[in-house]
Structure 1
Amino acid sequence: MSKKIMSVILALCMTLSCLTAAGIVAEARTTETAEVSAQATSVETGADYGLVDDVQDGQILQCWNWSYNGIKANMQKIAEQGFSAIQTSPIQTIKETTQNRQMSGSWWVFYQPSDFKIDTSSQNALGTKSDFKSMCDEAHKYGVKVIVDAVLNHMANNGDNTLSPTIPSDIRNDSSCWHSITTNTSNWNSRWDITHNCMGGLPDLNTGNSKIQNYEIAFLKECIDAGADGFRFDGAKHIEVPNDNENASSNFWSNVLGAATSYAKSSRGFTPYYYGEILDSTGGGQSIVNQYTNYMSVTCNTVSDNIRSQVNSGNASGAKRKDFCYNDGSQPAASKAVLWNESHDTYANGSSRGQSDTTLKKTWALVGSRAQACGMYLARPSSYSNQIGTASVTAWGDVEVKAVNQFKNYFVGKTEYPSSEGSIAYNERGTEGVVLVNCGGSSTSVSVTAHKMAAGTYTDQITGNTFTVSNGKISGKIGSTGVAVVYNAKPAGPSASVTPGSQSYNTDTLTLTLNYKNATSGQYSIDGGSYQSFTDGKTITIGSGLAYGTKTTVSVKATDGTTTSDIQTYTYTKVDPSLVQKVYFDNSSYNWSSVYAYIYADSSTNNGAWPGAQMTKDSATGYYVIEVPEELSNGYVILTESKDATSNRYPADGETGMALNGKTMIMRANHSWEEYTVTPATTAAPTTQPTTAVPTTVPVTTVPADKVLIGDTNIDGKITISDATEIQYHISEYSTLTGDNAIAADTDKNGTINIKDATVIQYYLVGLTESAGHCGEYTGGETPTTQPTTAPSGDYVYYYNSNGWSSVNAYYWSDDNTSLTKWPGVDMESVGNNVYRTKYPSAATYIIFSNNGSNQTSTITLSGANKIYKNGSWSTYNG
């Protein structure tokens, strides 16, 4: 944001903060609901530990085999170490005692539950249900979330492929509750085998059975009531997804998680965090991974274990992996990935147990510093022979782990750049931080390439050593741990946000959650109306009764009592659901068993790895259908029956897909590809017509006595921020604008004075003339000889359209702010001779030009104002 824009907005914010009179009532179309938070809201008792609200953004400490009281006793240390969540061992009823048992011989007992209830018996070394609740209460005091390891795929045996007599008879004696318990999975490429046979002799539940689902829903609800904030699902890949391969499907995940989420929202006002255990691969490729990630995040053991192996062998190049791939090449998105340095399985089976804490902490520095992916750290016991329930402060409490965790929490939302040079693997976050790991040893001096880091002086948060970035190099000394966490930590200021962010919606209403961080209160405004106070987690509903095409803006800000955040504005557009771009497929002449649509714009922009996303049957038309992502509206489509289909796909392998051209299309018989017109849906008239807020003044109808300068509210011959302030006083009833003052204040000439008129003056003052309404114009009387102070011309960037694109868009951003525009960016204005231009903020660093999102350029570094990008290089634009 430029200094000029900042000064104007700050001035207005200061004015608003001084106004205490009753504000304008929000428009009648806006209603509020009672949900408290989109995530479990924590109440901290002491210092702010810098923990994140969304578990996916932070780190989980797996308190493996720890008692609830042991976790509770270490909660402050956990928070101080920067862990935003803890994970318990499974808390379900167990088949045999774990009291006075060693971890090495009995840890597995927790993974053979005999019932779907929190264990309340004295034979459980983890503790009682009341202990669990007390532990959850303590966690929430420190802002720490509680994740429960839940075993929903199978139950306890009495020897391989048998049923334990401790299982309730209502389940044990009902054959419909079980898959074949005598057959173990043997074909790991068959989804039927994986989901319908036993995992290592453990009796496999029929998770498609409504009785089993109801038992498990009740258990999740019991955990939520006791204080759980989320769940890890053991053996998740062994539970089928709704559109699974080989007719293995069931509605388990949609029913069970749908019920749990609904209950959590209604009872405690939050949405639980879910992640599932997937080891090696799902056995069904990318389409199955995509279905799991519709419901949860997933573990990426292949990448995690490989990074640890590469670190252990001193191979920095191998340790810098950027992907999240399973063995078959499928992978979740980064925002749905969970990485670890080791897991309880790799510790228990010995594959990681023999590796040093140094290797584990170096591995953590790499996986734990990743952007978007959640990190899970196993709290190793001090000895594998410890009794179950023992809580040990081992390497998880070391300074390197704390530094990495705080680094990750600090850089939430920033980009990443993993790389390596020599023995050093490192990850740059944004332009102000880097984690460096010496895979070849301990203390060493480094000088590695700065791909993103800005020039300056930084501090290693482990040793206090000084690092410098100069002439494209990061230089400094890594300490004896072999890890350096380099950045200059700054106290976080207040901020406000709305979830979901700016988007289109095709329902009648849209519910938004308002949040703030590092603040004591927040305010929001709808469509430029007066600001209303909100508490963190407040929800509002917009859209009721609005016509399709209506845009609603929601602006938010927050304060800590001293500092007020920048105003963040979000835009929501109501669209006709019948006009959402889609692809249809008439299967009547093809008779494919399933239909997938691979939609792409280039090699890296698509709707998922091949074969794309599975299409669903539309009951209204009888055709298969899929919505087209906005960024792919001008992309291409390949339709296929399956990942490996050769004849049942079109176009053929190696051929370009069918062009979308921004339209809804259908493929009929004989590969006919044509535009498809859906009959527009009609919206029923609301029973109560929406009303608009009553304006604070009588409509402006006065004829000006003299020539009036629109925007010059105080009639002093110039337009300044004071004129916007006069409007603020007017709408807050501190003063009243009449006569020529009122005419000048009506900047959009709509006959009323409201907050939008003050906003228009702001636009005028910062040079956004296209949004400045009638500011600077005269009305009535004679035009004065001295013209008013005019708006600055602003900074333009120019593009020479040598490709003959029908339109040109500019998408610009910076390392610190990737939300300056929304892809494909702003429409550029033609100035003739194939030259297009647009204004851009000085905060922007990079730009991509495209033809409405397709045929785009590569990422280009901006070269300054009034430059033209032509034939691959920048030059000064001279008209």
Structure 2
Amino acid sequence: MLRRIFTFAMIFILGVSAMSAENKMQTKQGTILHCWCWSFKTIEDNIEKISEAGFTAIQTSPANECFVGDNGGLEIMSAKKGKWYYHYQPTDWKIGNYQLGTRDDFIRMCAKAKKFGIAVIVDVVPNHTTTHKDEISLDFIEAVGGMEKMYHKNSDHTIRSMANRREVTSAMLGGLPDVNTENPLFQEYFMNYINDLIDCGADGFRFDTAKHIALPDDPVDPASKENDFWPIFTGKKSVNGKSVKNADGLFIYGEVLQEGASREDAYGKLFPVTASKYGKLLRSALKNEKLNAKGIVNFQNAASPEVVTWIESHDTYANEGESAYLTNFMIRAGWAVIASRKDGTPLFFNRPKGKEAAQFPGESKIGETGNDECFSPEVSAVNKFRTAMQGENEKFLNGENAGILIIKRGEKGCVIVNLNSKPSAVQVEIKLPKGTYIDKANKTKFVCKDSVLKGKIKPKSICVVY
């Protein structure tokens, strides 16, 4: 009897483990919608629509308790009525804040996402706290051993050099006090937060400012004994008897911006990292209306293919506004490139509502959805193409000029992007069955005969054929 119970338990555990690994792979091979500044309730209300658009995961803004600025105003960016970045200023690591909603809201959102097969990725912020130290939770202060043990010794100044790893991993970034992430008491407290998110339904995490948290072989801050944050939070090690739940089944990636001593190759051995240089390369190509096939294949990242790709991120849009000039079509065209690729995990940043090619148009507030570009027929068609082409090799080709890019996936289908302001005749050598094909984005007609697909693509448009 005991043997039968033990056997059943092992089968159950192995089954759960296999299911978790499958869900992780589905997220990695799928598409993520970054629901930037959406509340948990707003995400819940739009899960079905997100699923219908072909996304396989959503990413929330930080769920932690945070500094309440501007009297709790919910403008995305205003001098006195609210700012998006307050949720990146933790006051405690417990679920729920005034911008996104409560822990119960989070649980309901996750339950709805599970119903539609959508993974939930939570943006987590262990690296720093708010600058308003008097707002930090007493629970948190006591748990880490007091305010004097909360921060790195080197956190008495802002980073002086991005080429110096000790500076990068222990000094203040943007004036935000740098948490001693190697303090076992902090690690245990943060572990409770991570595991609570998992218990509530989270399927993975984006680690904000990951490159500012030391790797095991980085210089050790005087306030720390060893750099073991990453071994602990990737599930290789426990702290005070506690471990990350279901570590092997979580999709984890790190924000490792490629400047200075970013060490993306080393981080990439732990988890996928952000391909920030590739995003910059593609934005330049889109601006110049030339998607040179040979010039945009390389991910520009030593961690490749373990990368998360984007055309823009919330930082490139909301900080200095370096990507704010992108038009809606430029974003869709860039998405067609990254989401139709074999490798990388593409993330679609949802901009606020309002005028295109502008930063903070002022039509939507924190908690609301952004614009509808993530639900456009071209984006949805590319998302579904990516799912249908799993396992197929990729090949980049140009049409009559560099304004036409063709991403061919095996012999099963292709995505065609026309950046030009005029229509263009296209022909692609591909072993599709003979017949007529209607592209799934704009209903453009193509004909395949003798393994050559021919058609005429409209100006500034995307065609998805398979």
Match for 1:176: what amino acid? K
Once the 2 structures are TM-superposed, how far is the Cα of residue 150 of structure 1 from its aligned partner? Answer: 0.2
Q: Which amino acid aligns with 1:351?
A: E
1:91 matches 2:63? yes
- Partner SS, residue 404 of structure 1: helix
Of 390, 395, 401, 2:373 maps to 395
Q: Which amino acid aligns with 1:411?
A: M
What's the CA shift string for 1:297-339, capped at 9, x where partnerless? 111011012212211221121796111214xxxx2121x1111
Q: 2:330 aligned with 1:365, yes or no? A: no
1:476-875 → structure 2 map (5 Å cutoff): 476-479=455-458, 481-487=460-466
What corresponds to 1:264 in structure 2? Answer: 245
Alpha-carbon distance in 1 for matches of 2:151, 2:99: 29
Distance 1:70 1:319, change over 3 A: farther
Q: Is the 8 A contact 1:156 1:164 kept in 2?
A: no
Report whether the alignment pairs 1:461 with 2:432. Answer: no
Aligned mates of 1:413, 1:430 — CA distance in 2: 9
Give the aligned partner of residue 195 of structure 2.
221
User: Does the Cα contact within 8 Å between 2:21 and 2:249 map onto a contact in 1?
Assistant: no
Matches within 5 A, 1:59-78: 59-78=31-50
- State the TM-score, normalized to the length of structure 1: 0.46
Unaligned runs of 5+ in 2: 1-6, 355-359
Could you say what the CA RMSD is over the residues aligned between the two structures, in angstroms?
2.8
- Alignment match of 2:408 (pick from 428, 435, 439): 428
The match for 1:234 is: 208
Partner letter of residue 287 of structure 2?
N
Distance in 1, Cα, partners of 2:170 & 2:32: 31
Aligned length: 431
For 1:426-483, what per-residue CA distance to the aligned partner results, in whole angstroms no more than 9, with x for missing partners?
Answer: 2111111111111223x62333453x65564443111333324456754212245511
Between structures 1 and 2, the one with greater helix share: 2
**8 Å CA contact retained: 2:294, 2:396:** no
> Which amino acid in the other structure matches residue 483 of structure 1?
I
Q: Is the counterpart of residue 275 in structure 1 residue 286 in structure 2?
A: no
* Code of the aligned partner of 2:410: G
> In the aligned structure 2, how far is the partner of 1:318 from the partner of 1:109?
40
In 1, the alpha carbon distance for the partners of 2:264 and 2:99 equals 36
CA displacement 1:722-743 (0-9 Å, x = unmatched): xxxxxxxxxxxxxxxxxxxxxx
Are residues 277 and 372 of structure 1, via their aligned partners in 2, closer, same or farther at CA, if it must alter by over 3 Å?
same
1:165-219 deviation digits (Å, cap 9, x = unpaired):
4243324844333112221112212211211211111101121211121111111
Quick one: distance in 1 between partners of 2:287 and 2:123? 29
Question: Structure 1 residue aligned with 2:385, among 398, 407, 420?
Answer: 407
CA distance in 2, matches of 1:262, 1:429: 40
Native 8 Å contact 1:91 1:149 kept in 2: yes
Using the TM superposition, give the Cα deviation of residue 126 of structure 1 relative to its aligned residue in structure 2, in angstroms. Answer: 0.9
Asked whether the 8 Å contact 1:184–1:198 carries over to 2, the reply is yes
Cα distance in 1 for residues equivalent to 2:234 and 2:32:
21
1:306 aligns with 2:281: yes
Indicate the residue corresponding to 2:3 in structure 1.
none
SS at match of 1:412: coil
Q: 1:194 aligns with which of 168, 181, 184?
A: 168
The residue that corresponds to 2:85 in the other structure is: 108
Query: Kindly tell me: are residues 320 and 137 of structure 1, through their superposed partners in 2, closer, same or farther at Cα, counting changes over 3 Å?
Result: farther
**In structure 1, what is the equivalent of residue 304 of structure 2?**
333
Relative distance call for 1:37 and 1:477 in structure 2 (3 A) is: farther
Alignment-mate amino acid for residue 347 of structure 1: Y
For the structure 1 residues 228 and 235, does the alpha-carbon distance in structure 2 shift closer, same or farther, using more than 3 Å as the test?
A: same
Paired AA for residue 184 in structure 1: T
Q: 1:130 aligns with which of 95, 104, 113?
A: 104
Change (3 A) 1:485 1:211: same
> How big is the shift at 1:247?
5.3
C-alpha separation in 2, matches of 1:293 and 1:303: 15
Show the counterpart of 1:146: 120
Instruction: Look up the SS of the partner of 1:117 in the other structure.
Output: strand
Change (3 A) 1:453 1:157: farther
Asked if structure 1 preserves the Cα contact closer than 8 Å seen for 2:293 and 2:396, the reply is no
| C-alpha contact (below 8 Å) 1:276/1:299 kept by paired residues | yes
- Contact 2:273–2:308 (CA<8 Å) still a contact in 1? yes
Which of structure 1's runs of 4+ aligned residues deviate more than 6 A?
Answer: none
Separation in 1 of the partners of 2:293 and 2:388?
26
Contact 2:145 2:185 in 1 (8 A): no
For the Cα contact (< 8 Å) 2:155–2:170, is it kept in 1? no
Give yes or no for contact 1:366–1:427 (8 Å, CA) kept in 2: yes
Q: Percent identity?
A: 31
Is the CA contact 1:320–1:420 (under 8 Å) kept in the aligned structure 2?
no
The answer for the alignment partner of 1:437 in structure 2 is: 417
The structure whose residues are more often strand, as a share, is 1
- The CA distance in 2 between the partners of 1:220 and 1:102, in whole Å, is 28
1:382 pairs with one of 338, 350, 353: 353
Equivalent residue for 2:268, pick from 287, 293, 311: 293
> Structure 1 residues 247 and 115 mapped into 2: Cα distance closer, same or farther (>3 Å)?
closer
- Alpha-carbon shift at residue 40 of structure 1 (Å): 4.5
